[in-house]
Amino acid sequence: MQPDKFLELQYQTLRDEIRETKARIARILIFGVTVVPAAQFLADAYKIDVVIVSMPLLVVVISFLYLSENHALMRCGRFIRLEIESRVDGVVGWENWLTTPDEFEKRSVDRYVTYSFYLLYFIYFAASVFLACRFTSETYGVFWTAVLLGCYSAVGLWFALYFFRNMKISTTTQSENG
């Protein structure tokens, strides 16, 4: 296979992967925005213990799904920029154009969507922890509420540290690997 043809096939495959990844991200967001509150409401209305107590974990799982897809999307773009576009002389490709000095303006919507995601899921997590602890306090007492709150606090702290440590809004630097 000719190198130019190989690069073209890689480019097309990665663009297809980006399209599919963006569709998965949209489905994850729609699922999270609709199912989490609906499940929380139904679980609270019908006093379904296991659902009420596990809702904070569902929020964390959905958040990790989002992050996984978002990072996959950025890896595809980074590969296109560094390994494909860099081999085409005299042309500024899309991924390289996005990293030019006025990049903030080009990706401001991406930034706001990402910040909104983080804010929304932290609110969902805090609300689901509050509801789970309230339910546990009413049903099982203070001891089990404290145990549950300790577990959720540990998960929440780990989750927040992971989020902030791995927060990638919309761009990567030239020196980043993988």
pLDDT digits 0-9 by tens, 91-109: 889 888 888 777 556 677 8
pLDDT digits 0-9 by tens, 142-171: 999 999 999 999 999 998 888 778 765 544
Three-state secondary structure call for residue 91: coil
Domain extents for the chain?
3-165
b (16+ CB within 10 A) / e for 87-113: eeeeeeeebeebbeeeeeeebeeeeee
Q: Across all residues in the chain, what is the average pLDDT?
A: 88
